[in-house]
Amino acid sequence: MSTLRGRVGPVGLPEWDRCAVMGVVNVTPDSFSDGGRWFDTALAVKRGLELAAAGADLVDVGGESTRPGATRIDEDEELRRVIPVVRELVGGGVVVSVDTMRAAVAEAAVEAGAALVNDVSGGLADPAMVPAVAAAGVPFVVMHWRGFSADMNSRAVYGPDVVGEVLGELRQRLDAVVGGGIDPGRLVVDPGLGFAKNAEHDLALVAGLGRLRRELELPMLVAASRKRFLGRVLAGPDADPPPARERDAATAAVSALAAREGAWAVRVHEVRASADAVRVVRAVEDFSAAGAAGAGE
Ligand code: PMM
């Protein structure tokens, strides 16, 4: 069961009275679920505004694909893709998060008005990231990460307690970033679904979201949207998974589960269904709370 405690967000962002919904804009030619669709500044801005209008509380802008096997782009190209989109969305009144593993991109995005830095490597990819975020004083997402996308699948090796291992590795990262000067009140944790994990590992983590939240006691972001494990769950008898864009209903199901476990936010490509799902969860929780209060009278 979720409690308000788990839903309180990081210092420096608005508070939403339910699980927040983070919409995704990938300004990339090759992200696995929506690659190429918003690879143009004007289209990406339009998409971000659409997501906000559809109910996204914040919009996550990224310029580098992290799909399995992806190779890295250079910093100038990432800046070119991301910064104009961040600036225009912020100008349009959107709360923007920047999805980057590079300190220079994070700094430029914060300068352009981004309110949160979402680093899938949790500060491991660029040694300058933690000091940069500490100096900027913005919230920071620490995701569970074992290495770059080019070879992350080979790192998807866990013992029987996947959740316990991810917890242990996340704790180490959290200690490191706090040691590096980031305010613990500004941290968000993320189990990193699909990153050095196979479908079984992802399912174990979704089943363990409540444990992750209780043991880490930090706002939690859950990013299941369109990921391979959902394709595996939905695969027909021929074992062919549906294409990424046909996984949005399954994504909304995970959004409901995550909200029920007290996640602070869910990160999704299609916002409407998840925005509805988190509102239903909130209404059910209000009903339960009213019932509990009534029973106590
Ligand atoms: N997944 C992707 C990109 N960014 N950020 C966080 N915090 N957590 C994630 O799991 C995550 C992320 C990859 O998905 P996409 O390229 O389809 O958006």
Token couple for 140: 């920071």
Question: Angle, to 10 degrees, between the axis of helix 199-207 and the axis of helix 248-260?
Answer: 40
Q: Could you give the domains of the chain? A: 2-295 (3.20.20.20)
- The pLDDT mean for the chain works out to 92
Q: Answer yes or no: is pLDDT of 2 > 60.
A: no
pLDDT per position as a tens digit, 230-274: 999 999 778 899 999 999 999 999 999 999 999 999 999 999 999
For residue 277 and ligand 1, the question of a CB distance below 6 A is answered with no
For residue 193 and ligand 1, the question of a CB distance below 6 A is answered with yes
| Spatial distance between the Cα atoms of 251 and 274, rounded to a whole number of angstroms | 8
**What secondary structure letter does DSSP report for 154?**
G
Query: Which atom of ligand 1 approaches the CA of 24 most closely?
Result: 18
Percentage of the chain modeled with pLDDT above 70? 94
pLDDT at 6: 46
Instruction: Specify whether 227 is catalytic.
Output: yes
| Spatial distance between the Cα atoms of 243 and 159, rounded to a whole number of angstroms | 30
pLDDT at 33: 65
pLDDT at 154: 85
pLDDT at 236: 75
pLDDT per position as a tens digit, 39-55: 789 999 999 999 999 99
| Spatial distance between the Cα atoms of 127 and 133, rounded to a whole number of angstroms | 11
Q: Which one of 186, 227, 228, 282 is the catalytic residue?
A: 227
Region 59-69: mean pLDDT is: 88
Confidence of residue 7 (pLDDT cuts 50, 70, 90): low
Q: Among 51, 72, 143, 152, which is best to mutate for testing ligand 1, by the most ligand atoms less than 8 A from CB? A: 143
pLDDT per position as a tens digit, 108-148: 999 999 999 999 999 999 999 999 999 999 999 999 999 88
- The pTM is what? 0.94
pLDDT at 35: 61
Measured in whole angstroms, the distance separating CA 176 from the mean position of its chain's CA atoms is: 20
pLDDT at 4: 43
* Closest C-alpha residue for ligand 1 atom 6: 120
C-alpha distances (whole Å) from 235 to each of 35, 228, 246, 254 are: 22, 10, 11, 17
Q: How far is the CA of 223 from the centre of ligand 1 (A)?
A: 6
Q: Please return the burial class of 131, using the count of CB atoms within 10 Å of its CB with bins 0-12, 13-18 and 19+.
A: middle
Token couple for 181: 């000067």
Q: How far is the CA of 89 from the centre of ligand 1 (A)?
A: 19
pLDDT at 95: 98
pLDDT per position as a tens digit, 141-200: 999 999 887 777 888 889 999 999 999 999 999 999 999 999 999 999 999 999 999 999
pLDDT at 1: 37
